[in-house]
Amino acid sequence: MRYFLLLLLFSSQVMAQNVATDEKVVGLFYFLPLLGHVHQSPEKTSASLTTIQCSHPVKVIESSKVVINPSWAYVEVADYRGFIRKEFLSEKRPDCFQGRYPNFFDGLNLDLSELYYWGRLYDQYIQVETRVR
């Protein structure tokens, strides 16, 4: 019986180590848009886990258990794990509107629900370049 318990304890520790090493942090990136969301799934219409602002640090994670579209990144922001479009991430800290005009931005007095809706609007906003001359 003692050997069985030791074997069970050892195998659970090995399994815990395998789970822990399955994920790795690829790098620290910064959020580019003025406002946005960490999504529950890799779709721009999915539920929001949290709202973030420009230059917020984001840890990008690789995991064999999470398979996603190449245009999305699996991220960790504070206590949340979710998804952000890769086009919204930068390796360098961006020069944000909030940083350039802090008095103006603070004067807007946006509450959490307003930050949420402005972030959702930016999720739906599509930037393209035209070929019209």
Cβ atoms 94, 34 nearer than 8 A: no
At residue 21, the pLDDT reads: 59
At residue 115, the pLDDT reads: 83
Residue 70 forms part of a structural domain: yes
Structure tokens at 27: 């790098």
Residue 84 forms part of a structural domain: yes
**Full-model pTM:** 0.73
List pLDDT tens digits, range 56-72: 999 999 998 888 889 99
Using alpha carbons, select from 86, 81, 102 the residue that is nearest to residue 30. Answer: 86
Instruction: Kindly report the average pLDDT of the chain as a whole number.
Output: 82
Residue 10 forms part of a structural domain: no
Return the biggest CA–CA distance within the chain: 81
At residue 127, the pLDDT reads: 64
Residue 16 forms part of a structural domain: no
| Residue 129 or 75, more confident | 75
CA atoms of 30 and 84, how far apart (whole Å): 11
Residue 13 forms part of a structural domain: no
Length of the chain as a residue count: 133
Reported as a pLDDT band with limits 50, 70 and 90, residue 17 is: very low
CATH number, domain of 42, equals 2.30.30.40
At residue 6, the pLDDT reads: 39
Residue 1 forms part of a structural domain: no
Residue 7 forms part of a structural domain: no
**Domain that includes residue 91, residue range:** 22-124
Interior CA angle at 120 toward 117 and 123, to 5°?
160
Structure tokens at 100: 């350039």
Q: How many domains does one find in the chain?
A: 1
Which residues, 6 or more positions from 39, have their beta carbon under 8 angstroms from its beta carbon?
A: 46, 47, 48, 49, 82, 83, 84
Residue 72 forms part of a structural domain: yes
At residue 54, the pLDDT reads: 93
| Residue 68 or 84, more confident | 84
